[in-house]
């Protein structure tokens, strides 16, 4: 299954991300906070292909915490950090974490997904 998890607390950013990925054939699960995303990921690991997350989000877990948890549980899963706050990312110098600086285009998002999670 070609599932991508997208975590973004701004709906105006989240909705077009999901739309474009679905147009290109990906199954997408969208979340507005990292805590909800982690709960889903922790219970549905077999269908995950890629995580795309922002860093700054409300809740008990921010994007950095989500990246760390996902990397610990699934060290080979590619993770895309789509954020403008790279100063918070000092602890994210780990394998399989890639950066997509905001304000990226939908074409850049699609290209990144093609490279990291190609459709079969």
Place of tokens 């070609």: 2
Structural domain harbouring 46: 3-116
User: CA-CA distance, 45 to 119, in Å (whole number)?
Assistant: 18
Query: What's the angle, vertex CA 118, arms to CA 66 and CA 52, rounded to 5?
Result: 20
Judged on CB neighbours under 10 Å (0-12, 13-18, 19+), 119 is: exposed
- The model's pLDDT over 66-101, given as tens digits with 9 standing for 90+, comes to 999 998 998 888 999 987 665 444 555 566 788 888
Q: What is the pLDDT of residue 86?
A: 57
Phi/psi at 36 (5° precision): -65, -40
Q: What is the CATH number of the domain that holds 73?
A: 3.40.50.2300
Number of independent structural domains in the chain: 1
- The model's pLDDT over 9-20, given as tens digits with 9 standing for 90+, comes to 999 999 999 999
pTM: 0.88
């Amino acid at each position: 299954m070609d599932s991508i998890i997208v975590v973004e607390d701004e709906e105006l950013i989240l909705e077009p991300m999901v739309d474009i990925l679905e147009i290109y054939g990906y199954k997408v699960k969208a979340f507005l906070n990292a805590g909800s995303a982690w709960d889903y990921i922790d219970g549905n690991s077999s269908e995950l292909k890629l995580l795309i997350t922002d860093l700054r989000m409300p809740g008990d877990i921010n994007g950095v915490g989500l990246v760390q948890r996902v990397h610990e549980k699934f060290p080979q899963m590619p993770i895309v950090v789509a954020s403008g706050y790279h100063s918070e990312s000092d602890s994210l110098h780990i394998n399989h974490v890639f950066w997509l600086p905001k304000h990226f285009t939908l074409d850049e998002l699609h290209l990144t997904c093609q490279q990291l999670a190609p459709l079969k």
